[in-house]
Structure 1
Amino acid sequence: MERKNNRNDSSQMKDLIQFDNPENKEKEKPREENQENGKGSSPEPAASGSCCAKDACEASKSEPVRTRNGDVGSSCCRLDELKKLPQCDIRLGTLSFTKSHIILIDVNAFSHGGRVLPQEGRDLWHSNFVKMPCSQYSLSPKPDVQLGPLKFKTGSGPVPRWNLISKQLSALAAKKAAKVEEVEEAILNYNPKYRGEWSFDALANCLKMNPSFQNHFEKLFPKIAALALKLPEQVKKGIPLLQRHRPASITLSQEQISCLLANAFYCTFPHRNTTSSNAEYHNYPSINFSRLFGNWSERKNQKFMALLQYFNVVTDEKSKPDGLVTFERRCLSDADVPNWERCKDTLQKLHVTSQGSIEEEGTGMLQVDFAASWIGGGVLDSGLVQEEILFLMNPELIVSRLFTERLDDKECLIITGAQQYSCYSGFSDSFKWVGPYDDHLQRDEWRRLKRQILAIDALHFKHQREQYSMASVRRELNKAYCGFRGHYRDKEPDIATGKWGCGAFKGDKQLKAVIQLMAAAKARRGLAFFTFGDEDLSRDLQHIYHLLVTQNMTVGETKIFVEVAITTGKGPDLRARLLLVAQGLLKEDRPSGSPQELCV
């Protein structure tokens, strides 16, 4: 399925982008599995080579499988046979508050006239809410007075920290352009504790290495400061934390998100600058950009290009978006955990291809983010694999780090309505920001873009052999099912996924694929599985699927099939054992008993 390449030609950056750069035009070569082990980084390989490259014409076809006797056989479907938005659209009804759905815009103004205005409310300095930089309870020692070479201690009590922030950002916002050194000084003036500790060399080097962009970005810094200063008027109601074991949703406007991210850029959020085990937010990802600013690398250079493109759009009155985005934490209760051994559901449709990508060919489907348990992984540091790239192309996802506590074993996060702002090529060290992107997806009744992203974190195995236990299999089944299970059963789109947990987390590709097949079957949703250039996995998975559906295997029987494969000593690895056991399904002298007897 081919997707149109939409470039943001109306952007202020259009004249700066060198689309004829040979580096940007170079055809992306298939990547090997990522072997990064960076702290906090989501480790899986991305499911695409370039989000703006022309899609392969065969991406919507499943490659035929040759069985042992040479006959071509595949039970897989075409991509266009799977359900997608907007074809399987769901009527949402009127946007309204519930106990578990907090909305930060005025629903009355939205429902009667479509206006997006902030919801009136009050500041909540509470452990269940985000502590805001503009809160009256956010205090800071009064800074020393500097008169020429002399510094005088004020000796007075604390002052509202927002006063200090406003003074520094207002000074930046009043400028036509600001140097990186001025940005640094402003941030450190209200974060004096980190003077001498925080570095800004990555941001400075980004501008030096991209001289054609330098003048533009220096003009952008004051605009970001002005946007950050709008926080008190844009977010008037306390933002609840999406805490562990508490299913809940938050809906914000894209303008509110841009204001929050502008504050993250200027490192204004209190109590969020340390990750020590006794810190108040130790179980939450970082949100301030301080770690991104220091320790230059080419990766960070490319990250800044994507993030500054986002701010370029949202600070422009002509191009800033006016929709909504919903962040939903889902939890699988003990009562909802399936009895996998007794599950009678049969496998759903499967499309497998070594070409194409989750975000391109999977448009309109529930798109899987191979997440870290701390949502976003290393997006605000050095991480640059599937999840981080996804967050850089869709920066509104980053705001989830502000309020989403670390995911537990039976939890996931679903984001509806995030917009794509950039194109890219490559992956990890070869990642390149290519240019702006115009997102023309349709919007739903709540003015959210029809894009759903599912963040589920796989287990991280120190040693690959650790995953070959049924306890690990059950954990991954429950995690995937938590994300795949919908609210509307058969009315929801199918799922676009790939090699979830198979990079630095050392997941077994074949095992993880079958686990996702089983979870999707229980959720009664089809799968589009992108192997990203891995033709061996594509053939193996189609082969196994063909053999399983030919025998009309249930999820329960498939689980036993997996158990047999990972416990038998036959074959040099799991791939061989899965195929060996699957071949046993078609033996004419197959025993009529249970699947445990399939070990051949």
Structure 2
Amino acid sequence: MLLTSSPVTVPRRLSRRVHTLSLNLFFQQGWLREMPFTFLKIGRSKNEQMAQRNNSSQMSECLNHMDSAGEGGEGSGRRPPQEPSTKRRHSQSSSAENTSFDFGENQEDTYPIGRLKKDPDCHMQLDSLSGGPHHTVLIDTKEFYDRKLTPYKGQHVWDSNHVKLPPGLPKSNAEARWRAVQRALHNLTMSKPSVGDVEMAIKSYNHSHQMQWPFDSLYTYFKCLNKKEKNFSSVISKMASLALQLPDLIKHPIPMLKQHRSHAITMSQVQISCLLANAFFCTFPHRNATKPGSEYSNYPTINFSSLFGNTCKRKTEKLRCLFHYFSTVTEEGTKPDGLVTFERICIPLNELPTWKEQQETLSNLHVTANGTIEKEGSGMLQVDFASKFVGGGVLGRGLVQEEIRFLLSPELIVARLFTEKLAENECLKITGVQTYSVCSGYSDSFEWLCPHKDDTERDEWKRRYCQIVALDALSFKDPREQYTEQNLKRELNKAYVGFRGDPNIPSDYTPAIATGNWGCGAFNGDPRLKALIQMMAAAVAKRDLAFFTFRNKNQAQELQKMHKLLKAHQVTVGQLYLLLKKYCDDYSHYQHKKNVFEFVREMASPSSQL
């Protein structure tokens, strides 16, 4: 029986508040006179209106919490908000996409981060873990409620809709290759294996790549080990044993998360560790060819072969992160015992917002030059500045925001096994991953520092309160290409797909979004334009934002001023969209005269001193 459910959580329906927004905006340009203006006096507070519509004790508790904790805006849970728990410290990484701005004023007051909603405080209690057509569960749910994580039994299949597992090869060659894998990995468990033994084992069942795959990066890593890390042989032996457990731990087909189809997979952290051990030993068949037209050309790579060759400091530090992860998950005392959900979300094009007609004004914004998404954004929906192939260059030389996030929480890497590249109206949400390492630096300065003990609480499905959304921005060889209405709408739609919560869960039960310079840096996005896009998408999704500029104080000051201006004049998302469209339409005229913030400031409030 295939265990699934659609959607992943089925919350109790509660009345939703209707956003009615007043605006009083002066525009000098005649081209905007057609924009609709609405004037409305709001008498009662939001909480009073909601309390009157729903008298349930659960809603009352949530509203009481909101009075003290502030407003915000997705969540997949459903229990009444609790007293704020002690804040946990997540590992550090400098996930920076730096851009400099030349503004010298002090940053103005920003919305307090402590008032933004976070999990588990705004969590709604989950329904029982179960299944249906859109949610595959790889553990036995009956056993789960007896506090056992037992693999769910099914019948493996070998087709394009499911992961092709090494033991499941067609009978014609399954016995030969899987037996070769078993022999090679078994040998690694019986001795104190060296790097040479690992290389020999991997090449013994990957004959066509024996001359193509160098292992110099793995040799360099071994030479650089410090005294605390001198456990290479022991960890390799345990990893080999873990990889050999694949037939016992994965007993049900794993569906491929294909384009244009919403689907979720929930599996245990132990199952993930087994799949990643197999990825390390490069056992997954048909996953090494990456040329256009090859069977998996539309998927990220998963076997670790590309990490072992072409040595550089970046790969050495990546291997430090990964070996610490494997050391943790192969020790009985530190083996994780929770679940993780990977959910591909596709919103049909006809359900995406008509941006010029949106009447929402901007939601609350906390903007700061200090802190990081994964640490200070703990408990919020954390944005992964993703590649359309999730994980980007994590198994190669890439080492910016997405790759660092995947190294801090290597369980994310398993998404590469089954996630087809993201289409323009899709995202991938991952709930429940654990953080294993403390790191510092960025790109060439990245370093693994030490282990991290993750004390994040778990929800009713034993998933840690950590939700990450992979959003791929457009990449522009020429930055001028982004200033078109088509590209503006594409980025708005992509951000909205990632930010939108479960439509059945009221926005008051959804945490804020933790984000930053999405699509800037190597993708050449304009940080000002991308910030406006994310604020607009968050407003329509009815969620607040925490925006981290990664030590760029000038950018934080400028963004705070722009947000304050737009809030003060109650500019709607639709009005702001038309302003941005005008800027894009006439970009050749404006590009050397004013940036997008200066243009919006001038058009929205000519008398403003900001």
Common fold by TM > 0.5: yes
| Contact 1:397–1:418 under 8 Å retained in 2 | yes
Question: Which one of the candidate residues 530, 534, 543 is aligned to 1:512?
Answer: 530
Distance change (3 Å), C-alpha of 1:291 and 1:34: farther
- Other structure's SS at 1:504 match: helix
1:537 aligns with 2:535: no
- Whole-angstrom distance in 2 between the partners of 1:64 and 1:351: 19
The answer for the alignment partner of 1:221 in structure 2 is 236
Distance change (3 Å), C-alpha of 1:164 and 1:402: same
Q: Deviations over 1:35-78 (max 9, x none)?
A: 9xxxxxxxxxxxxxxxxxxxxxxxxxxx9977xxxxx965x411
Residue 252 of structure 1 and its aligned partner are, at CA, apart by 0.4
Match of 1:101, as an amino acid?
Answer: H
Q: Deviations over 1:495-531 (max 9, x none)?
A: 0000000011100000000000000000000000001
Residue 29 of structure 1 and its aligned partner are, at CA, apart by 9.5
| Contact 2:89–2:375 under 8 Å retained in 1 | no
- Other structure's SS at 1:166 match: helix
The answer for the alignment partner of 1:10 in structure 2 is none
1:88 aligns with 2:104: no
| Contact 1:456–1:479 under 8 Å retained in 2 | yes
1:483-494 maps to which residues of 2 (within 5 A)? 483-487=498-502, 488-490=505-507, 491-494=509-512
- Whole-angstrom distance in 2 between the partners of 1:4 and 1:83: 15
- Other structure's SS at 1:519 match: helix
The answer for the alignment partner of 1:555 in structure 2 is 573
| Contact 1:30–1:533 under 8 Å retained in 2 | no
- Whole-angstrom distance in 2 between the partners of 1:398 and 1:443: 21
- Whole-angstrom distance in 2 between the partners of 1:446 and 1:114: 11
1:167 aligns with 2:186: no
Distance change (3 Å), C-alpha of 1:530 and 1:130: same
Distance change (3 Å), C-alpha of 1:556 and 1:265: same
Residue 168 of structure 1 and its aligned partner are, at CA, apart by 0.9
- Whole-angstrom distance in 1 between the partners of 2:496 and 2:193: 49
The answer for the alignment partner of 1:114 in structure 2 is 147
Q: Deviations over 1:170-211 (max 9, x none)?
A: 111122x21000011111111111111111110111111225
1:429 aligns with 2:444: yes
| Contact 1:202–1:297 under 8 Å retained in 2 | yes
The answer for the alignment partner of 1:467 in structure 2 is 482
Distance change (3 Å), C-alpha of 1:574 and 1:311: farther
- Whole-angstrom distance in 2 between the partners of 1:280 and 1:339: 37
Match of 2:132, as an amino acid?
Answer: T
1:376-415 maps to which residues of 2 (within 5 A)? 376-415=391-430
Distance change (3 Å), C-alpha of 1:135 and 1:575: farther
- Whole-angstrom distance in 1 between the partners of 2:95 and 2:230: 36
| Contact 2:97–2:521 under 8 Å retained in 1 | no
Match of 1:105, as an amino acid?
Answer: I
- Other structure's SS at 1:296 match: coil
- Whole-angstrom distance in 1 between the partners of 2:596 and 2:285: 53
Question: Which one of the candidate residues 364, 368, 377 is aligned to 1:349?
Answer: 364
| Contact 1:207–1:213 under 8 Å retained in 2 | no
Residue 533 of structure 1 and its aligned partner are, at CA, apart by 1.5
Question: Which one of the candidate residues 440, 454, 461 is aligned to 1:446?
Answer: 461
- Whole-angstrom distance in 2 between the partners of 1:64 and 1:3: 33
- Whole-angstrom distance in 2 between the partners of 1:536 and 1:65: 8
| Contact 2:512–2:545 under 8 Å retained in 1 | yes
| Contact 2:479–2:526 under 8 Å retained in 1 | yes
1:586 aligns with 2:601: no
Residue 538 of structure 1 and its aligned partner are, at CA, apart by 1.1
Match of 1:451, as an amino acid?
Answer: C
| Contact 2:272–2:411 under 8 Å retained in 1 | yes
| Contact 1:566–1:574 under 8 Å retained in 2 | no
| Contact 1:305–1:433 under 8 Å retained in 2 | yes
| Contact 1:106–1:119 under 8 Å retained in 2 | yes
Residue 579 of structure 1 and its aligned partner are, at CA, apart by 2.2
Unaligned runs of 5+ in 2: 1-83
1:208-357 maps to which residues of 2 (within 5 A)? 208-212=223-227, 215-357=230-372
- Whole-angstrom distance in 1 between the partners of 2:169 and 2:471: 36
| Contact 1:419–1:439 under 8 Å retained in 2 | yes
- Whole-angstrom distance in 1 between the partners of 2:90 and 2:469: 24
Distance change (3 Å), C-alpha of 1:479 and 1:30: closer
1:134 aligns with 2:199: no
Residue 162 of structure 1 and its aligned partner are, at CA, apart by 1.1
- Other structure's SS at 2:166 match: coil
Residue 568 of structure 1 and its aligned partner are, at CA, apart by 4.3
Distance change (3 Å), C-alpha of 1:513 and 1:109: same
The answer for the alignment partner of 1:501 in structure 2 is 519
Residue 578 of structure 1 and its aligned partner are, at CA, apart by 2.2
| Contact 2:88–2:456 under 8 Å retained in 1 | no
The root-mean-square deviation of aligned C-alpha atoms, in Å, is 2.5
Q: Deviations over 1:271-302 (max 9, x none)?
A: 00110112111100000000101111000100
| Contact 1:393–1:423 under 8 Å retained in 2 | yes
| Contact 1:544–1:579 under 8 Å retained in 2 | no
- Whole-angstrom distance in 2 between the partners of 1:6 and 1:458: 26
TM score, norm. by length of structure 1: 0.83
Q: Which moved more, 1:192-201 or 1:247-256?
A: 192-201
- Whole-angstrom distance in 2 between the partners of 1:574 and 1:250: 50
1:33 aligns with 2:98: yes
Match of 1:525, as an amino acid?
Answer: R
- Other structure's SS at 2:277 match: helix
- Whole-angstrom distance in 2 between the partners of 1:34 and 1:300: 26
- Other structure's SS at 1:134 match: helix
The answer for the alignment partner of 2:53 in structure 1 is none
Q: Which moved more, 1:233-242 or 1:346-355?
A: 346-355
Match of 1:443, as an amino acid?
Answer: R
| Contact 1:267–1:289 under 8 Å retained in 2 | yes
Residue 258 of structure 1 and its aligned partner are, at CA, apart by 0.3
| Contact 1:566–1:577 under 8 Å retained in 2 | no
| Contact 1:396–1:419 under 8 Å retained in 2 | yes
Match of 1:498, as an amino acid?
Answer: G
Distance change (3 Å), C-alpha of 1:535 and 1:170: same
Residue 586 of structure 1 and its aligned partner are, at CA, apart by 3.0
Q: Deviations over 1:349-374 (max 9, x none)?
A: 01111111101110000000000000
- Other structure's SS at 1:250 match: strand
Q: Percent identity?
A: 46
The answer for the alignment partner of 2:156 in structure 1 is 123
- Whole-angstrom distance in 1 between the partners of 2:606 and 2:343: 47
The answer for the alignment partner of 2:71 in structure 1 is none
1:477 aligns with 2:510: no
The answer for the alignment partner of 2:546 in structure 1 is 528
Distance change (3 Å), C-alpha of 1:34 and 1:202: farther
- Whole-angstrom distance in 2 between the partners of 1:498 and 1:287: 28
Residue 563 of structure 1 and its aligned partner are, at CA, apart by 2.1
- Whole-angstrom distance in 2 between the partners of 1:77 and 1:65: 18
TM score, norm. by length of structure 2: 0.81
Q: Deviations over 1:558-591 (max 9, x none)?
A: 11122233344675558634224314433469xx
How many residue pairs were aligned? 519
The answer for the alignment partner of 2:11 in structure 1 is none
Distance change (3 Å), C-alpha of 1:278 and 1:581: closer
Distance change (3 Å), C-alpha of 1:298 and 1:6: same
Residue 105 of structure 1 and its aligned partner are, at CA, apart by 0.2
Match of 2:111, as an amino acid?
Answer: C
